[in-house]
């Protein structure tokens, strides 16, 4: 069974940093591109970042470029999101999601809440 489990969320002050993790199991992690998608409270979905299977290709939304860094460790079946210079508008539930056909997202984690507030 495919499972994605995020961790690392919490309350952080503006300007602070946080590192999210996503532990994958039930599939060959090293064969899939992975993504981070976020959802602010009561709002819609926003794609944040993507990383290819071998980390050769990395992309970011303009809203996080220069502040967030996506990475993965295929030996540990893990995906990461290092978030620096956090702002109030980064407050959201962060999901990791597996890339599927037509660049869709077929499996999602349960999400981890990041709250940026003083």
**Which conformational region is residue 40 in: left (phi greater than 0), alpha (psi within -120 to 50 degrees), or beta?**
beta
State which residue, 89 or 100, has the beta carbon closest to other proteins: 100
> What pairing do the DSSP bridges indicate for beta strands 68-73 and 58-60?
unpaired
State which residue, 17 or 54, has the beta carbon closest to other proteins: 54
Gap between the Cα atoms of 48 and 13, Å rounded: 20
Q: Which residues bind other proteins (CB under 8 A)?
A: 35, 37, 44-47, 50, 59, 61-62, 95, 100-106, 108-111
Gap between the Cα atoms of 83 and 81, Å rounded: 6
* Nearest distance in Å: CB 17, other proteins: 23
Gap between the Cα atoms of 114 and 94, Å rounded: 7
* Nearest distance in Å: CB 20, other proteins: 15
* Nearest distance in Å: CB 35, other proteins: 8
State which residue, 57 or 88, has the beta carbon closest to other proteins: 57
């Amino acid at each position: 069974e495919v499972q994605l489990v995020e961790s690392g969320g919490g309350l952080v002050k503006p300007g602070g940093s946080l590192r999210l993790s996503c532990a994958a199991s039930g599939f060959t992690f090293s064969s899939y591109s992975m993504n981070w998608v976020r959802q602010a409270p009561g709002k819609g979905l926003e794609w944040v970042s993507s990383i290819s299977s071998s980390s050769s290709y990395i992309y970011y939304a303009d809203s996080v470029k220069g502040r967030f860094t996506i990475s993965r460790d295929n030996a540990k079946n893990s995906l990461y999101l290092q978030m620096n210079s956090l702002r109030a508008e980064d407050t959201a539930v962060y999901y990791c999601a597996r890339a599927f056909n037509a660049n869709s997202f077929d499996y999602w984690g349960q999400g981890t809440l990041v709250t940026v507030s003083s």
